[in-house]
Structure 1
């Protein structure tokens, strides 16, 4: 059974905060890559006009996400929410009940796979 959890987080970037956004992104990528081996994908994308950001994250399992959330809360949450406003949060895969509880405040949408393949 596949225990991966992945999501797409859509965010609005606060006007005039593009430079701070790029520094935050760089810091978060560096820390995640260096300290979270069970983070499988961590990809940030920005709209051409610099007003929207999508973050695609994929984790080996719910335990890996909980580690990421702890790091995020300790080191980045204040900066993140000062610069970015979530507009949509869609979670896929097999999140545990504990992870769903941890993410409940973000009001995510959960989608269940019904077809396709994974290589």
Structure 2
């Protein structure tokens, strides 16, 4: 029983020293661990944000590239339709229809990806 009272008086003395600010080495260790944890969390957040921006940039680049490549095809298909021609009569019309279908599919996939990314936040 003597050892138990000796331990409790030692722990009480340590507690009093910590509360009075006399155990600066223990406080410094806690502060350093906290700073490291906060620094690593901030670094991870910064890396995630940079990765998100890069992915968004690649998606926008792909979308703009598809749009720039398909603009002449879209213009030609719309011009043919407004002129009264049937779009499925010849090979040119079929290819334009497939290109339009591909373009709309890619656009839908990009929109679904953006919505999924926003829902995860």
Q: Which has the higher strand share?
A: 1
Q: Give TM-score scaled by structure 2 length.
A: 0.27
Larger radius of gyration between Structure 1 and Structure 2 = 2
Q: Which has the higher helix share?
A: 2
Higher normalized contact order (CA 8 Å, seq sep 6+, divided by chain length): 1
Q: Give TM-score scaled by structure 1 length.
A: 0.28
